[in-house]
Structure 1
Amino acid sequence: MADDIKTKKPQKTEQEKKELINKAKKKGIKVERPKPTKPKEEKNKPKPKEEKKKTGRIYCDYTMLFMIIFLLVFGVIMIYSASSYTAGIKFKDSAYFVKNQIKYTLFGFVIFVVMMFIPYKKWVKRAYIWYGGSIFLSAVVLAIGKSVNGSRRWIVVGPVRFQPSEFVKVTLILFITYYLVKYKDELYSSDRKVTEHRLWWLFLWVIIPVVLVLVANLSTSIIIFLIALGMSFIGTSNKRLFTAGTLAFAAILASAKPLVKLLYSWGFRNYRLMRLLVWAEPEKFSRDGGYQVVQGLYAVGSGGVFGKGLGQGMQKFFIPEAQNDMIFSIIVEEFGLIGVLMILAVFAFIIRRMLIIAFSVKDLEGRYIVIGVVIHLSLQVILNIAVVTGVMPNTGVSLPFISYGGSSIVVLLAEIGLVYSVARTIKME
């Protein structure tokens, strides 16, 4: 041990090292400074892995989309079953209505994709533009619209024919969403006068399209008003006006039949009054429009529990325009109570999935949009069934995704696109 200490060279100080380097430079000798070496522990120490940023997957409800496609396909099948005989006689093509429905559906899916991938906030931001456009088109249809079956509802531009009243539904959902979010502080104010003032202004904005649509389309005007009523009920803390409005609406419905009969006894005769009389006493006024209602009731009654089978129904040969608003009666006749319950279960499933989306979104705009679509879809299903079963007057309400009609299919798929646009903002862990 002592020998080792003697033979070990003493360490040079920093000053001595510098002097040696300077001497070497003067003699022209290159001196390489040793690179600092990291301690063995640091050299061998593995670098910590960078934590990946956790990004949640975007929510997409494939099950609901499958159910909607199922209804669309089922609708095409039922349209063929209900209209093939009439189309063959009238247009020399038994698949005439089916071909048109497929075209409308494909175009509707294009609109669905566009609405889904464009952020819904952009649509809401320009809601007043869409609202103004729908008002303009609703006014134009009264001036130059095409009249079909006594109602002036369509604008025809070359081969394209559409109903502005259907366009009003989706634009009003966007506009009310914009309004409720913009004035949310006033609508939830503790001062009742402030809240009611803002609600009366909303009522004014809603009543303009309702009145314009009412002139030619009673059913759509009712749906538009009820969509606005439902959305605004959710968007405010003041429920007093809504309670009064609901009671007034119930009173009107309860007194409608006696009032209509009284007006008829006084000598009033017009198209709308006759439709209400048909609702009040369909058998008595079967020649004035009650024929369709009566034949629809026969179809409903003859379906039984299991139905007659696809294509085996007979009332479709007697119901005018069976592929349109009365298609539910053909479904009941051919598939019976079991088939109808299955279709209603599909609608209930779709509505439930939409409500899950609505309450999973933190953003108020997204929530109001989805709730508006839910109200619209629910109303159309309920009113269509009510019309077919004679509970409500025949006002031309289509069964969503199933009844024949281009404007209705395109608008419904546009609304579903909005729902999926909202759903895309939900992040899954």
Structure 2
Amino acid sequence: MADETKTQKAPKSEQEKKELIKKVKKSKIRVEKTENTKKDNKEKKNTNEQKRVKEADKSKEKSRAIYYDYSLIFMILFLLVFGVIMIYSASSYTAGIKFKDSAYFVKNQLKYMVVGFFVLIVMAVIPYKIWIKTACIWYGASVALSALVFIIGRQAHGSKRWIAVGPIRFQPSELVKFSIILFITYYLIRFKDDFYSSNRKDMEKRLGILFLLVCAPVLLVAVANLSTAIIIFLIAFSMSYMGTSNRRLFAGGIVAIAGMLAGAKPFVRFLYSKGFRNYRIMRLLVWAEPEKFSRDGGYQVVQGLYAIGSGGIFGKGLGQGMQKFFIPEAQNDMIFSIIVEEFGLVGVLMILAIFAFIIRRMLIIAFSVKDLGGRYIVIGVVIHLSLQVILNIAVVTGVMPNTGVSLPFISYGGSSIVVLLAEVGLVLSVAGTIKTE
């Protein structure tokens, strides 16, 4: 009986051992599987995260590449359309008599706008750093063309300002505004270390050379177009002020400019008393005393002031103004007075608010750009636009001499529209480099 029990227990123990071995093997396999699955899950998570990061980077790159300030473009388009409407209102009667076509000036303006938009697209598409590299070429070409005006230039309204090549007619002085922005930017970047150097002599030397280089086109333009020469000089002066750490020289320059403006009218009267009677002196006399010299050119200024005075708060209505029949070339430099007469104080404040909005958007672009060259370009365009608006209003109201400063995007004029749109293209080219997060 004992042997039987032993034989019965032995196989049970072997069976148990086998079962235990099977259980251990199964448990090991399960553990390995769980470990493998964990590793696979981690790898999948990592790959998914990497894909998400790549997709996010791609979306960021796309947003950076297509950045444009659409509100800025819309406001400029609005001013251009408004300008076409005002040109027709101011010139339809005169164009119908002279050219037998009341829309003569409007058609020409639309042609200039088409050319200007083509130039804008070219400027916006090409990186602005390429334009900075070609700044010396633009500077040399503008100076040469300004000098060429004295040889082959066409005279109109008592001064030579235009060069005609076949059907194309343009003012080199407008090109100088564009080229001086590029050239000052190039110069400030090229000699940045000298302008911010502690060595005062090096700084003054560079500023002296820059002053001479700016004076060359300014003096050439000033002979026939004093207001444009003032704009060119002030663009260079303001950009140079921002590009250097020396403020004493510029403070002295501001005092000198203020002194010249304060003493301009007495000086002109003195020249007149000494017998000077040339075209330029008479223009300045008209500015000093427009009513006294109304027959010598003050007539336009006086009629413009009448238009401003008759506009009131809400104006007479579009097309209802009367002074455009008396103001010579009302669609050009004096178009601001027609706007005041037909839209009143409310309409003028709206137009000035749009200009302020455009300037603000450009300043936002300027201070959002990390590259110094892009910032200088946009600030130069802002200075140009601001000065031209201020000086045009100053001319119409008799504060400045009437020497031909157009109201940006609104006044009739091919060269002005093309150059302004080219500058807007530069601003858009700079804006396209802003990184949007």
Matches of 2:220 and 2:16, distance apart in 1: 110
Cα offset for 1:396?
Answer: 0.4
Aligned to 1:2: 14
Residue 319 of structure 1: which of 294, 306, 327 is its match? 327
What does the per-residue CA deviation read over 1:194-241, in whole Å, with 9 as the maximum and x for residues that have no partner? 211111011011011111111221111111000000000010011111
Say whether residues 1:178 and 2:186 are aligned partners.
Answer: yes
Aligned to 1:242: 250
Cα offset for 1:5?
Answer: 3.5
Aligned to 1:109: 117
Aligned to 2:347: 339
Query: Is 99-108 or 85-94 further displaced after alignment?
Result: 99-108
Secondary structure at 1:236 match in 2 = coil
Secondary structure at 1:152 match in 2 = strand
Report how many residues are paired: 404
Aligned to 1:156: 164
Matches of 1:226 and 1:249, distance apart in 2: 10
Matches of 2:249 and 2:151, distance apart in 1: 35
Matches of 1:344 and 1:7, distance apart in 2: 95
Aligned to 1:194: 202
Say whether residues 1:373 and 2:385 are aligned partners.
Answer: no
What does the per-residue CA deviation read over 1:62-116, in whole Å, with 9 as the maximum and x for residues that have no partner? 1111110000000000000000000000000000000110111111011111101
Say whether residues 1:120 and 2:128 are aligned partners.
Answer: yes
Aligned to 1:39: 36
Say whether residues 1:206 and 2:214 are aligned partners.
Answer: yes
Cα offset for 1:39?
Answer: 3.5
Cα offset for 1:3?
Answer: 1.1
What does the per-residue CA deviation read over 1:159-204, in whole Å, with 9 as the maximum and x for residues that have no partner? 1100111001111100100000111111011122221111101101
Aligned to 1:97: 105
Under a length normalisation based on structure 1, what TM-score does the superposition of the two structures give?
0.91
Matched to 1:304, the amino acid is G
Greater fraction of residues in helix = 2
Matches of 1:285 and 1:314, distance apart in 2: 23
Matches of 1:341 and 1:347, distance apart in 2: 10
Say whether residues 1:303 and 2:315 are aligned partners.
Answer: no
Q: 1:271-282 maps to which residues of 2 (within 5 A)? A: 271-282=279-290
Matches of 1:219 and 1:6, distance apart in 2: 108
Query: Is 300-309 or 49-58 further displaced after alignment?
Result: 49-58
Matches of 2:42 and 2:226, distance apart in 1: 78
Matches of 1:6 and 1:256, distance apart in 2: 117
Aligned to 2:267: 259
Aligned to 2:9: none
Matches of 2:37 and 2:44, distance apart in 1: 14
Cα offset for 1:266?
Answer: 1.0
Matches of 1:369 and 1:75, distance apart in 2: 26
Matches of 1:177 and 1:44, distance apart in 2: 56
Matches of 1:260 and 1:216, distance apart in 2: 17
Query: Is 261-270 or 227-236 further displaced after alignment?
Result: 261-270
Cα offset for 1:7?
Answer: 8.5
Matched to 1:47, the amino acid is K
Cα offset for 1:43?
Answer: 5.0
Secondary structure at 1:39 match in 2 = helix
Q: Indicate the RMSD between aligned Cα atoms, in angstroms.
A: 1.7
What does the per-residue CA deviation read over 1:286-316, in whole Å, with 9 as the maximum and x for residues that have no partner? 1110110000000000001110000000000
What does the per-residue CA deviation read over 1:301-334, in whole Å, with 9 as the maximum and x for residues that have no partner? 0001110000000000000000000000000000
Matches of 1:7 and 1:75, distance apart in 2: 98
Query: Is 131-140 or 299-308 further displaced after alignment?
Result: 131-140
Gaps of 5+ in 1: 11-36
Residue 227 of structure 1: which of 224, 235, 241 is its match? 235
Query: Is 48-57 or 173-182 further displaced after alignment?
Result: 48-57
Residue 6 to residue 324, structure 1, CA distance change in 2 (3 Å)? closer
Aligned to 1:388: 396
Matches of 1:377 and 1:150, distance apart in 2: 26
Matches of 2:309 and 2:19, distance apart in 1: 118
Cα offset for 1:6?
Answer: 4.8
Percentage of pairs with the same residue = 73
Say whether residues 1:405 and 2:413 are aligned partners.
Answer: yes
Query: Is 46-55 or 355-364 further displaced after alignment?
Result: 46-55
Matched to 1:183, the amino acid is F
Query: Is 56-65 or 381-390 further displaced after alignment?
Result: 56-65
Matched to 1:112, the amino acid is L
Say whether residues 1:291 and 2:288 are aligned partners.
Answer: no
Matches of 2:398 and 2:41, distance apart in 1: 84
